[in-house]
Amino acid sequence: MLFVFYHYVTVSNVYFHDHEKVSLVGASDENTQDIGHSRVTYAYNFWDNLNSRGPSLRFGTGHMYNNYYHKMGNCINLRKGAKALVENNVFSGSISKALYSVDGEGSAQASGNDFGSALNKINSTTLSMDYQYTLKDTTQVSSYVQSNAGAIL
């Protein structure tokens, strides 16, 4: 059996659109070897007209900042002990759940987000990142992300 551990993966400036299940980190509930290993950052992504997994994270640590979620069923799902720092994201359109834990075992430190009317229900934690980054104000996120995510020709 081959196990691949990943540290410090960044997904940025991607235009995710028109799909059912989008981004899953941690392949199964039994992959406990991911604990303390998977660290993923999502920044400046445009999540548009999607059903779920924006992203769904098991066991690991996530950092989601300055993303724009539009017309999405369920967005950030932290489960199986996953935790995340969720900052300055914008959720608009008919979104059911913005930040949640399907099994109640995930937690987040959420600040500066514009959840609109979307559900934000998750256990709270304290978390910081060990790298430098600059946050855009939520009033700038939608226009910036839509102008810069995806192929720009």
Catalytic sites, residue numbers: 53
Task: Find the angle CA(19)-CA(139)-CA(66) to the nearest 5 degrees.
Answer: 50
Strands ordered across the beta sheet of 74-79: 24-25, 56-58, 74-79, 97-100, 119-121
Radius of gyration of the chain (CA): 14
User: Rounded to a whole number, what is the distance in angstroms from the first to the last CA of the chain?
Assistant: 42
- Of the CA atoms within 13 Å of residue 4, those in its CB half-sphere come to 5
Q: Is 126 left (phi over 0), alpha (psi -120 to 50) or beta?
A: beta
User: Cβ neighbours of residue 4 under 8 Å, at least 6 residues apart?
Assistant: none
